[in-house]
Amino acid sequence: MIVVVCPGQGSQTPGFLEPWIAEPSFRDTLEELGDAARVDLVQHGTVSDADTIRDTAVAQPLIVAAGILTLDALFDGLSNTAGRRERVGGIAGHSVGEITAAAGAGILTKGDAMRIVGERGRAMADAAAVTSTGMSAVVGGDQAELLALFEEVGVLPANYNGGGQIVVAGAPDALARLAESVPRGVRVVPLQVAGAFHTHFMAPAVDRLAAVAASVHPSDPTLPIWTNNDGSRVDSGARFVELLVGQVSSPVRWDLDMEAFAAAGVTGLIEVAPAGALTGLAKRGLKGVPAVAVKTPDDLAAAFDLLDQAA
């Protein structure tokens, strides 16, 4: 079973959409997606610098739009080749990538997905501006020991990424105390993000996102889809959207998602653009499972090869 995975914030890099919009149909789609999100995705995906696309209000729509472009190319390609589409056994997204996954599973239309992510990005950027906060990745160590340390120094676990990585969030002084206090052999890597995502610091964004989510009419998924909430499979589109809203201020449990993929019999992963982060986590959390990171249209051939090998 092949699972398609959709990355979250931090996976974008300057100019990463340039190879995609060389194809006129992709450029047209990107313009339409940008209109829905109220963000100039063509500019930000091609010429904007790293600082500009690090802005949460820009980064999130960029990432979801890139994923939708990839899914269009992937699923159109699959539909043109007998038997390949059926080998896609499910889909999941990390953090904002859950909106991409919801579009891929047919829960949200492309336009609704972009309206939701546009407001999500703006609301989370506004929430982050209220208090100075940041995030750091903690790599290695015993999880129980680390959770006790997090509480002691005043940081909050935000992403349980699996493979020995937990992302924490909090005030700058608390993150500094953590870096000084971790056990030997544990690395703390500051992340270039603007706020304490997936914690109570994002509570103001939840109500704004809920208001937009209430205006859409989700469908039940046409592909198996797993939630960041607890790694479970969700069969109701309305329930998945509800979880999407709550996810803004609650931890991402990607570790449990990977456990669910393994339990379901995953034989391969395909990560949509801007790819790389989730295939990297899979090397540790799903050892031995082949994975393809679709960064540009040239990588689609490798994704199709992986599906063919799964026959």
Q: Which residues are tagged catalytic?
A: 95, 198
Please choose, from the candidates 90, 105, 96, the residue with its C-alpha nearest in 3D space to the C-alpha of residue 63: 96
Give which of 260, 248, 253 is closest to 208, Cα–Cα: 248
CB 276 within 8 A of CB 7: yes
**243: its two tokens:** 């979880």
Judge residue 65's burial from the number of C-beta atoms within 10 Å of its C-beta, 0-12 exposed, 13-18 middle, 19 or more buried. buried
d(CA 3, CA 87): 9
DSSP character string of 10-60: T---TTTTHHHHTSHHHHHHHHHHHHHHTS-HHHHHHT--HHHHHSHHHHH
